């Protein structure tokens, strides 16, 4: 057992972004601890090791009994504790919705912000305080209806924020209107004759926008959810995690096909890096790509070599195809669809600022306002 929480984190392979005990002054210009200062952050006396319960607040949790949000909260607390995340350097930002109540229940900093705008708060905060560990909690309505635009940009910029997208395929807080992820033909209070439009697949949008990390899990599969959240937490860049979440009041059973013991092995497929895509009760079916179309094959008559082998670093076309796989035609992939490295927006912007200051000195806002560059508006 490592002697200190800092050692414990290092031995677990937590990347520099999570070395949040570091003094701010020890960070490189993008706010990440450097190799040298990583060595200098070991506390002189052992820090208390936090347990999941230490990440809870004194707030009464106001989700309906049985809501899938409870499990997402629990697995998040477990991952924060496992990684020894510093509460004072961690911020959960949300928009509006049942899922967006998430920051109240975590003993970190938090913003319950504006509908669909959590990415904008995160962008400003990350640029000002790059050393912070940022998370967004958002719903399918919050992220993909009113916040659709902001969702795209926080992903394409690779800001460096972990996005937990609670997908219950409904507006829960406002009592059951259809959302952008509701199925075609879905009857809800706002679509009494069935939803006329076709659903968005959140991970398709994320991958098309250049997501460096895109993953899916499900509220009741607690071990898998914990694994996916831990991978997201360790990702350096913007991570999108779609979590199938049961709203037992307004859309109960939406994911029964993927959770029911009798059906889940045929309706889902668990991705493992470097392994062929195999599924089915007896692991007797696989996925093969034929002319860029994923198709189900029977392993009794198909060699395993013909199957698609999962590669988290594959060109985006492949994870995009995985993100399109949907019931009832194909099993729905669970796990890490994509995980690649790319320069982060925060590093580029801060480097540009530093270069501008080096060349022109620190600016003076009053001088700028009083300066000669003025316009007359007719
Ligand atoms: C500007 C604005 N428009 C609409 C609303 C109403 N509203 C509140 S939450 C919500 C949708 C929430 O759905 P989702 O993000 O899926 O969250 P869930 O409650 O399902 O977790 C809507 C439309 C609002 N609060 N503000
Ligand atoms: S309305 Fe649905 S999503 Fe909201 S707390 Fe209740 S069960 Fe959860
Ligand atoms: Mg919702």
Taking alpha carbons only, the member of 376, 374, 277, 258 closest to residue 326 is 258
Percent of all residues in the chain with a pLDDT value above 90, rounded to a whole number: 83
Nearest atom of ligand 1 to the alpha carbon of 138: 15
Per-residue pLDDT tens over the stretch 146-192: 999 999 999 999 999 999 999 999 999 999 999 999 999 999 999 99
Give the number of whichever ligand sits closest to the CA of residue 244: 3
Name every residue whose Cβ is closer than 8 Å to that of residue 221 and which is 6 or more positions away in sequence: 259, 334
Pocket test for ligand 1, best of 141, 182, 247 (most atoms within 8 A of CB): 141
What is the Å distance from ligand 3's center to 163 Cα?
Answer: 15
pLDDT surpasses 50 at 16: no
Question: How far is residue 159 from each of residues 180, 191, 363, measured CA to CA in Å?
Answer: 24, 36, 25
Question: How far is residue 331 from each of residues 91, 326, 374, measured CA to CA in Å?
Answer: 35, 6, 60
Taking alpha carbons only, the member of 85, 109, 106, 79 closest to residue 21 is 85
pLDDT, average across residues 190-206? 97
Indicate if the alpha-carbon torsion angle 70, 75, 80, 84 is positive or negative: positive
CATH class of 3-39+48-275+310-350: alpha beta
pLDDT at residue 374, rounded to an integer: 82
Neighbouring CB atoms inside 10 A of 6's CB total: 21
Name every residue whose Cβ is closer than 8 Å to that of residue 184 and which is 6 or more positions away in sequence: 194, 195, 196, 197, 198, 199
Neighbouring CB atoms inside 10 A of 218's CB total: 25
Per-residue pLDDT tens over the stretch 277-304: 999 999 999 999 999 999 999 999 998 8
Which residue, judged by its Cα, is nearest atom 1 of ligand 2?
172
What is the Å distance from ligand 3's center to 228 Cα?
Answer: 20
pTM of the model: 0.88
7 sits in which H/E element = helix 5-11
CATH 3.40.50.970 domain span(s) along the chain: 3-39+48-275+310-350
pLDDT at residue 25, rounded to an integer: 31
């Amino acid at each position: 057992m490592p002697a200190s929480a800092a050692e414990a984190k290092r031995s677990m392979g937590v990347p520099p972004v999570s070395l949040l005990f570091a003094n701010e002054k020890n960070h490189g210009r993008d706010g990440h601890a450097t190799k040298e200062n990583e060595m200098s952050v070991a506390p002189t006396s052992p820090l208390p090791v936090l347990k999941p319960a230490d990440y809870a607040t004194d707030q009464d949790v106001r989700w309906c009994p049985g809501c899938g949000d409870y499990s997402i909260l629990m697995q998040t607390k477990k991952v924060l504790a496992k990684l020894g995340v510093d509460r004072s350097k961690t911020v959960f930002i949300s928009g509006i919705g049942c899922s967006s109540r998430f920051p109240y229940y975590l003993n970190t900093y938090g913003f319950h912000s504006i509908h669909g705008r959590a990415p904008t708060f995160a962008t400003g905060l990350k640029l000002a305080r790059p050393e912070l560990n940022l998370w967004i909690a958002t719903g399918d309505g919050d992220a993909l209806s009113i916040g659709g635009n902001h969702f795209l940009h926080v992903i394409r910029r690779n800001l460096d924020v972990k996005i937990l997208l609670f997908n219950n395929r409904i507006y829960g807080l406002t009592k059951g209107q259809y959302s952008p992820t509701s199925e075609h033909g879905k009857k809800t209070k706002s679509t009494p004759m069935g939803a006329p439009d076709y659903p968005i697949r959140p991970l398709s949008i994320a991958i098309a926008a250049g997501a460096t990390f895109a993953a899916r899990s499900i509220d009741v599969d607690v071990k898998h959810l914990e694994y996916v959240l831990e991978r997201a937490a360790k990702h350096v860049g913007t991570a999108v995690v779609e979590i199938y979440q049961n709203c037992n009041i307004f859309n109960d059973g939406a994911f029964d096909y993927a959770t029911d013991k009798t059906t889940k092995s045929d309706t889902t497929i668990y991705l493992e890096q470097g392994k062929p895509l195999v599924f089915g009760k007896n692991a007797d079916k696989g996925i093969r790509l034929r002319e860029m179309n994923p198709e189900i094959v029977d392993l009794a008559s198909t060699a395993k070599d013909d199957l698609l082998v999962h590669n988290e670093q594959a060109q985006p076309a492949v994870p995009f195809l995985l993100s399109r796989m949907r019931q009832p035609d194909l099993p729905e992939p669970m796990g890490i669809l994509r995980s690649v490295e790319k320069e982060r927006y925060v590093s580029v912007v801060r480097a540009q600022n530093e270069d501008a200051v080096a060349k022109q000195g620190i600016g003076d806002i009053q001088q700028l306002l009083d300066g000669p560059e003025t316009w007359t508006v007719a």
